[in-house]
Structure 1
């Protein structure tokens, strides 16, 4: 179970509340650009998910516990936004705690069990395999990770999780547990619950996480869902097309005001 409250960053002092949940290997600050853009009209909360950032580590990966921990950060009915792993947790939070979720935005993920997680397993194997004692600087870390993760953008994203720890370095995520429970991350819990609030389902046009074949699963749990596909974006829609993402969220949130 999750021990202790999740770490959050608050932006804005007026307007309706909006809570953001990041994906695997992320941190709340991944939503900072969009959060700041919304903070003039909304009270924004950026959540570090369990086993990530400055939030507590847990003994296992469990989406129900993750959803309950997210719901505990919500003091009044709020718009909930989640990407990837955070999107699955946000969906389950809406299903388990509908009184706390006024509306829901799910970014490039579906309420299904994905067939493969080899790419993410490879990332974690590479991160766990790094000899942190031999790392003197961030360029050293980048060079050490490059053979296993040749894409510089993905490598930079992963290395945001590497933090100075005295004279050495440490990983912020609970990599051992995340690696062990990757099948749980890949899945989605069985539930008969239905969330009746409005749902915006955003897909990256170049990503495979939202497909027509997943529509029935989504609509059976979220009957008021509307799907939008963002051109020029893969899985990390909010990083690849932040202006488009901000505009979509502004319009979605305005519907509530």
Structure 2
């Protein structure tokens, strides 16, 4: 679908999307794109905003969904539709906002992207996809991976979703039933901030683009076609 921008999750890159009918972009600090001015979702959105075409639809997974949320809330971009793939309004785990920004740089320095990729990849269902995931994470610059973790930890999208609701932008939220990042209240939380939001839940975890790519794209295509 022309005019559909795809934004990947933390530590991945534009190439990690497979066979999508749209245009994948690297987040700041990922692939060949320079780091953002600050390790914040808003700063990442600032860096990408000039590349978002008028009347685009945005699809974002995880951190990419957070950035897509920030972009969609900007009236100047005139976003026509938003799809959030296992993206929380905020990460509610105890201590994330206070300790996460301090611990993330230390963890990345101590373990390195390659080891982090191996530790996190068990959440990907198949061996082949797990190896791909490890490859993408290992390719990261440590400072960029740290930026992504800090930005996600500090993100709070409730006000953004209220603004998206006020702009009448159609929103689809796709969740993984067993995701470590989103829980069953996530759909209710998002609908409270954005009543026009639709929810779909797949029987998988957080890594929906890797674990359920076909089903995910069918849901995205149907949603975007209904709001074209």
**For this structure pair, what is the TM-score category when the shorter chain's length is used for normalisation?**
0.7 to 0.9
Q: For 1:250, what is the secondary structure of its paired residue? A: helix
Matched, 1:210 2:185: no
TM-score (structure 1 length as normaliser) = 0.69
Could you list the per-position Cα deviations for residues 110-152 of structure 1 after superposition, in whole angstroms to 9, with x for gaps in the alignment? 21232255999999756533689xxxxxxxx67x976x66847
Is 1:171 matched with 2:141? Answer: yes
Aligned position for 1:226: 198
Q: How does 1:118-197 map to 2 (within 5 A)?
A: 128-129=109-110, 151=122, 156-163=132-139, 171=141, 174-178=144-148, 181=150, 185-189=153-157, 191=159, 193-195=163-165, 196-197=168-169
Q: What is the match of residue 25 of structure 1?
A: 11
Corresponding position: 1:235 with 2:200: no
Deviation at 1:186, TM superposition (A): 4.5
Give the match for residue 51 of structure 1: 29
In 1, distance between residues paired with 2:164 and 2:196?
10
- The 8 Å contact of residues 108 and 142 in structure 2, kept in 1 or not, is answered as no
Structure 2 contact 101–153 (Cα < 8 Å) conserved: no
Quick check: 1:161–1:173 contact (8 Å CA) kept in 2?
no
SS in 2 for 1:46: strand
Structure 1 gap ranges (5+): 1-14, 39-43, 133-140, 164-169
Number of positions where the alignment pairs a residue of Structure 1 with one of Structure 2? 216
Q: Which structure has the highest strand share of the two?
A: 1
1:91·1:104 contact (CA, 8 Å) conserved in 2? Answer: yes
> Hey, what does 1:81 align to over in structure 2?
59
Greater CA radius of gyration, 1 or 2? 1
Match among 70, 78, 90 for residue 112 of structure 1: 90
Q: CA deviation at 1:253?
A: 1.9
Q: Aligned pair 1:200/2:176, yes or no? A: no
TM-score, normalised on structure 2? 0.77
Residue 7 of structure 1 corresponds to which residue in structure 2? none
User: Residue 70 of structure 2: which of 88, 92, 97 is its match?
Assistant: 92
Q: Which structure has more helix as a fraction of its residues?
A: 2
Contact 2:117/2:134 (8 A) holds in 1: no
Distance 2:106 2:206 in 1: 21
- Structure 1 stretch displaced more, 79-88 or 44-53: 44-53
Secondary structure of 2:51's partner? coil
